């Protein structure tokens, strides 16, 4: 659970992680903007173009699972509500994921103490659902869905981030990796049972929706053991100010038995979530992500390619995306 992720984080970063010439010749770190289970996230500026990007720094002492999976997962995703991966740089010590920067902040920053207005919560949750629906269609489960991994950009559109725990699945495939943030993991993971990935994501989505509408978590306790018991029993109370339709969706999702949970397609078709859908962009007409000019990106990539050919300490350039 959370503790396992914390242990994996130990010794991931050194002071010199962003001091390698292969990186500093092209980017200047502006500040730290976050830390995930397996790496630090930094805001950087491309020196030639001035483009601001988010850089996730993964040390190669981290688990091989992370280093191999996250870049590969992200390289296969292209959706307006999924953060865009521009480039992967690899040195002997580190892997740098150069990504789109969503400057608005984490979803939590937009949730008032008493919860969001339902119309805004519905709009943002619909975008989160569309991102997850796209991932599931691609055979990818996120497995770490939480407000901290949902960014909101300057135009108040959602960007799903942090695919460090993601994995590819096939229909009916059982997983036996037990990790995640305790507040958001489903009962089957807490019980260390083999589980299917999509229903696990659905449960986490239910916790996210509950938090968006209430400003709190459905399951809260003074100790981890007490919290686990509440989750395994599925005991929670929905505040009275939440609408009947929204309560219906939460209750459909937060089923202890994963077989009773809806699929992501069924979630997206729920009456609460489809309210006002005709008046808003559909998943196929969503506003495209606001990306740097393609000329700028090509300049960045061409410059890095040229430099990589002359630097022996660089190993591989995994991917470039436009």
Could you report the per-residue pLDDT of 223-252, keeping only the tens digit for each?
Answer: 999 999 999 999 999 999 999 999 999 999
- The pairing of strands 150-152 and 158-160 is antiparallel
124 and 65 together in one domain? no
Question: Which residue in the list 144, 153, 162, 201 is annotated as catalytic?
Answer: 144
Local confidence band at 38 (pLDDT 50, 70, 90 cut-offs): low
pLDDT at residue 207 tops 50: yes
How open is the CA angle 132-142-59, to the nearest 5 degrees? 140
Beta bridge partners of 29: 44
59 and 146 together in one domain? no
DSSP string, 166-202: -EE--TT--B----S-GGG--HHHHTT--B-HHHHHH
Average pLDDT over residues 118-132: 98
Average pLDDT over residues 185-200: 96
11 and 112 together in one domain? no
Residue with tokens 């994921």: 97
Alpha carbons 74 and 169: distance in angstroms, whole number:
15
Rama region for 238: left / alpha / beta (φ>0; ψ in -120 to 50; rest): beta
153 and 301 together in one domain? no
174 and 281 together in one domain? yes
Residue 268 phi, psi dihedral angles, 5° rounding: -65, -20
131 and 55 together in one domain? no
In terms of Cα–Cα distance, which of 308, 311, 292 is closest to 54?
292
pLDDT at residue 102 tops 60: yes
Considering only residues 193 and 1, tell me which one the structure prediction assigns the higher pLDDT: 193
281 and 167 together in one domain? yes
pTM value is 0.81
Residue range of the domain that includes 154: 107-285
38 and 156 together in one domain? no
Catalytic, 224? Answer no
123 and 208 together in one domain? yes
Residue 113 phi, psi dihedral angles, 5° rounding: -60, -35
Look up the CATH number of the domain holding residue 66. Answer: 3.30.200.20
pLDDT in tens, 272-296: 999 987 544 444 434 444 445 555 5
Residue 101 phi, psi dihedral angles, 5° rounding: -105, 115
Specify the pLDDT at position 79.
97
164 and 271 together in one domain? yes
- Euclidean distance between the first and the last CA atom of the chain, given in angstroms as a whole number: 35
Look up the CATH number of the domain holding residue 262. Answer: 1.10.510.10
pLDDT in tens, 165-192: 999 999 999 999 888 899 999 999 999 9
Give me the chain's average pLDDT, please. 83
176 and 37 together in one domain? no
Instruction: Say how many domains are in the chain.
Output: 2
240 and 214 together in one domain? yes
State what percent of residues in the chain have pLDDT above 70.
Answer: 77
Asked if residue 42 belongs to a known ligand binding site, the reply is no
């Amino acid at each position: 659970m959370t503790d396992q992720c914390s242990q994996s984080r130990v010794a991931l970063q050194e002071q010199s992680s962003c001091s390698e010439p292969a990186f500093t010749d092209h980017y200047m770190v502006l500040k730290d903007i976050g830390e995930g289970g397996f790496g630090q996230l930094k805001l950087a500026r491309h020196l030639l173009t001035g483009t601001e990007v988010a850089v996730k720094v993964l040390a190669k002492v981290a688990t091989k699972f992370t280093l191999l999976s996250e870049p590969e997962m992200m390289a296969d995703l292209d959706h307006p509500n999924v953060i865009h991966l521009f480039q992967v740089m690899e040195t002997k010590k580190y892997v740098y994921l150069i990504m789109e920067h969503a400057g608005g902040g984490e979803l939590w920053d937009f949730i008032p103490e008493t919860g969001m207005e339902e119309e805004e919560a519905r709009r943002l949750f619909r975008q989160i659902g569309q991102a997850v629906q796209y991932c599931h269609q691609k055979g990818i489960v996120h497995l770490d869905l939480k407000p901290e991994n949902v960014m909101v950009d300057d135009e108040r559109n959602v960007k799903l981030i942090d695919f460090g725990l993601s994995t590819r699945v096939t229909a009916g495939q059982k997983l036996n990796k037990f990790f995640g943030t305790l507040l958001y993991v489903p009962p089957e993971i807490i019980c260390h049972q083999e589980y299917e990935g999509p229903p696990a994501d659905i449960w986490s989505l239910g916790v996210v929706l509950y938090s968006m509408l209430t400003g709190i978590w459905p399951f809260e306790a003074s100790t981890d053991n007490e919290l686990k018991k509440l989750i395994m029993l599925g005991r929670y109370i929905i505040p009275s100010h939440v609408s009947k339709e929204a309560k219906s969706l939460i209750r459909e999702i937060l089923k202890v038995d994963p077989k009773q949970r809806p699929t992501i397609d069924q979630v997206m078709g729920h009456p609460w979530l489809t309210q006002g859908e005709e008046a808003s962009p559909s998943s196929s007409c969503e506003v495209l992500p606001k990306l740097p000019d393609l000329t700028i990106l090509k300049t960045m990539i061409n410059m890095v390619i040229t430099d990589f050919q002359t630097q022996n300490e660089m190993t591989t350039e995994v991917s470039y995306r436009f």
